[in-house]
Amino acid sequence: MNFTNLSERIKQSPPVEFGTVFNNSVELFKKVWLQGFLTLVLTFVSILPFYLLIYLPMIAMGISDPDVFEQQEITPAFAGLMSLIAPIFSVGAMTVGICLNAAFLRICRKYDLNEMGRDDYFYYFKKQYLIKALILSLIMLGLSLLGVLTCGLGIVYLVVPMSLFPAFFAFDKELTALEIVKAGFALGNKNWLMIFLLVIVAGLVAQLGIILCLVGVFFTAMFSKIPIYFIYKDTVGISMDA
């Protein structure tokens, strides 16, 4: 689906219904809780190298000068190096997160529509998708920085459209990264309050796993992503060839 047709669908789409999306999300979660857990584990494993990228300079400085961390002031060289590495870490982690979240939404479609095939967690780690995810991550980082500059109020607003980006990334392969952003804002602005409530409530429900000796949160955390699938499905519609 090209961007023009998608924009028209968004304009004509019915409003998001909280109860319908939430209830459908609960039912689908019963089928994909294990896939959600595996996606979360793969996310942690995949972003581990980026964490090493941040801590490696600190380890190297500690080895070369054991007293460096006892000093109250950070050396300009170290501060400059960390300011260079931090954005790389952020963009890298966001790129991996987008690809794995999109794969999880694709798996959600499979179980929701009773499709055949294997659970491909690395479906979007192909070159054409990775480049798009990288560009999308850079845009998201820029938007987040702008949101921070508005004393955090912008971040609250951006939660809704940015939460929709993985769905458009997963199911509209013809879109460019910039068109994904435009589509996310178009759908998000049309249903901002209802989507915001769903994101908040789903996020709270996803944390209920903490009750089970803290470990359970790893099995419930991905519940927060499922409402995005139904928001997209109920408004834009799911294509079988996505």
| Count of C-beta atoms within a 10 Å radius of residue 194 | 16
The CA distance from 181 to 177, in Å, is 6
pLDDT in tens, 74-117: 666 666 767 777 788 889 999 999 999 999 999 999 999 999 88
pLDDT in tens, 120-148: 999 999 999 999 999 999 999 999 989 88
* Higher pLDDT pick, 212 / 162: 162
Q: pTM (2 decimals)?
A: 0.89
Q: Compute the radius of gyration of the chain from its Cα atoms.
A: 20
The CA distance from 8 to 36, in Å, is 32
Residue 78: predicted pLDDT = 62
Residue 50: predicted pLDDT = 78
Residue 48: predicted pLDDT = 86
